[in-house]
Amino acid sequence: MKKLLATTAVVVMGFAGAASAADGVTACLITKTDTNPFFVKMKEGAEAKAAELGMTLKSYAGKVDGDHETQVAAIETCIADGAKGILLTASDTSSITSTVKKARDAGLLVIALDTPLSPIDAADATFATDNFLAGELIGKWAAGKLGAEAANAKIAMLDLAVSQPSVDVLRDQGFLQGFGIDLGDPNKWGDETDARIVGNDITSGNEEGGRKAMENLLAKDPMINVVYTINEPAAAGAYEALKSIGRENDVLIVSVDGGCPGVANIADGVIGATSQQYPLLMASKGVEAIAAWAKDGTKPANTEGKDFFDTGVTLITNTPVDGVESIDAVKGAELCWG
């Protein structure tokens, strides 16, 4: 529990005297980190909705992406504090499920945000982008951009973590399918046999990790010409590694998030295309769901035909290709964070 000393705790109180069915209700938000801009915005969205509804929100975060132990400790703290629900972006989507079960058995509503648990029904609900589709969109774009040369591509796969959380697998596998590469086991990455894949490396979802992973794969094949990245901080790091050897202008970099800095990198030519998510919407919907649960035990419904609530995804690029619907960076900047 001492690990919680390193977490960020934020309490958002309702206005004095505000009349709300959610007055006095406590919810928790547990994110992978409190430094990634995506999770910063998610936290802002949760705070705003909690304040609007007169709820108390307590926020926790891992020290780095992959800090499973701190997330476990945070869930246990939320149970002990009498919270009504938890919004969780899990670092280890399989190992966290036993602790999530403790929370649910204690009567808390647990909603996975952005990253589905493994299995997905280990949480009461999931509010997320269709991460496979997000990957598929950037894969189709990259293949379309290369045209006939896609058959000769040399692809670097910059993934998230060795534990392969669900979001990591879904985006990776979606990209490969979109690019036209046969998948191995769709529930994991790295077992594909297509010779166009130079290799996989992990980034921890941050810029320094992206730079190191790119350097490692360039050492394996300096003629890489397509780079898939798990998120935009990793993409920025990959770009810096390519720039250091003078190859920043002849390699396609694709990513997922569509945050405001990432959209700016589209405009600047750092990233060729990215799939935009909407973390503010995920978080606000999650807080509303906990309020409804506290009021009368109502659980959120899934999007029709899916096993989660789909918060949407849009491809952002300034160089559209035929057959792949997209919007440009100007429009993407208007929508970023969602």
Give pLDDT, residue 148. Answer: 97
Query: Could you read off the pLDDT of 124-153 as tens digits, one per residue?
Result: 999 999 999 999 999 999 999 999 999 999
Give pLDDT, residue 2. Answer: 33
Give pLDDT, residue 90. Answer: 95
273-276 vs 109-113, strand pairing mode: unpaired
Give bridge partners of residue 229 from the DSSP assignment.
Answer: 158
Give pLDDT, residue 65. Answer: 83
Least confident of 17-31, 200-214, 218-232, 261-275: 17-31
Is a pLDDT exceeding 90 seen at residue 10? no
Give pLDDT, residue 21. Answer: 57
How many angstroms separate the CA atoms of 120 and 134, rounded?
18
- Which secondary structure element, helix H or strand E, spans residue 111, and what is its range? strand 109-113
Give pLDDT, residue 11. Answer: 36
Is a pLDDT exceeding 60 seen at residue 9? no
Q: Which domains, from first to last, does the chain contain?
A: 2-128+279-300 (3.40.50.2300), 131-276+313-335 (3.40.50.2300)
Q: What is the mean pLDDT of residues 183-190?
A: 97
How many angstroms separate the CA atoms of 54 and 62, rounded?
26
Cα 13 to chain centroid, rounded:
27
Helix, strand and coil in the chain, % to nearest 5: 40, 15, 40
Both structure tokens of 180: 């036209």
Q: What is the mean pLDDT of the chain?
A: 92
Report the side by side order of strands in the sheet with 273-276: 197-202, 155-159, 226-229, 252-257, 273-276, 314-317
Task: Report residue 20's pLDDT band, with 50, 70 and 90 as the boundaries.
Answer: low
Query: Could you read off the pLDDT of 97-110 as tens digits, one per residue?
Result: 999 999 999 999 99
Cα 34 to chain centroid, rounded:
13
How many angstroms separate the CA atoms of 316 and 138, rounded?
9
Going by C-alpha positions, the residue among 223, 90, 206 that lies closest to residue 158 is: 206
Angle at alpha carbon of residue 274, lines to 40 and 263, rounded to 5°: 60
163, exposed or middle or buried, with CB in 10 Å at 0-12, 13-18, 19+? middle
Give pLDDT, residue 296. Answer: 95
Q: What is the mean pLDDT of residues 290-301?
A: 96
Query: Could you read off the pLDDT of 152-181 as tens digits, one per residue?
Result: 999 999 999 999 999 999 999 999 999 999
Both structure tokens of 155: 């692809």
DSSP letters spanning 227-273: EEESSHHHHHHHHHHHHTTT-TTSSEEEEEE--HHHHHHHHTTS-SE
Both structure tokens of 265: 């990198």
Q: What is the mean pLDDT of residues 74-102?
A: 97
Least confident of 23-37, 73-87, 90-104, 279-293: 23-37
How many angstroms separate the CA atoms of 294 and 137, rounded?
38
How many angstroms separate the CA atoms of 331 and 238, rounded?
25
Query: Could you read off the pLDDT of 204-250 as tens digits, one per residue?
Result: 999 999 999 999 999 999 999 999 999 999 999 999 999 999 999 99
DSSP letters spanning 22-63: TTT-EEEEEES-SSSHHHHHHHHHHHHHHHHHT-EEEEEE-S
Least confident of 59-68, 147-156, 313-322: 59-68
Q: Which residues contact 270 (CB under 8 A, 6 or more apart)?
A: 235, 236, 239, 248, 253
Task: Report residue 64's pLDDT band, with 50, 70 and 90 as the boundaries.
Answer: confident
Local structure of residue 112 (DSSP, 8 states) = E
How many angstroms separate the CA atoms of 338 and 281, rounded?
6
Give pLDDT, residue 22. Answer: 67
Q: What is the mean pLDDT of residues 256-262?
A: 96
Percent of the chain, pLDDT > 90? 91
Least confident of 7-16, 68-77, 100-109, 277-286: 7-16
Give pLDDT, residue 15. Answer: 30
Task: Report residue 338's pLDDT band, with 50, 70 and 90 as the boundaries.
Answer: confident
How many angstroms separate the CA atoms of 296 and 186, rounded?
39
Is a pLDDT exceeding 60 seen at residue 197? yes
Is a pLDDT exceeding 60 seen at residue 332? yes
Least confident of 9-23, 153-167, 248-262, 285-299: 9-23
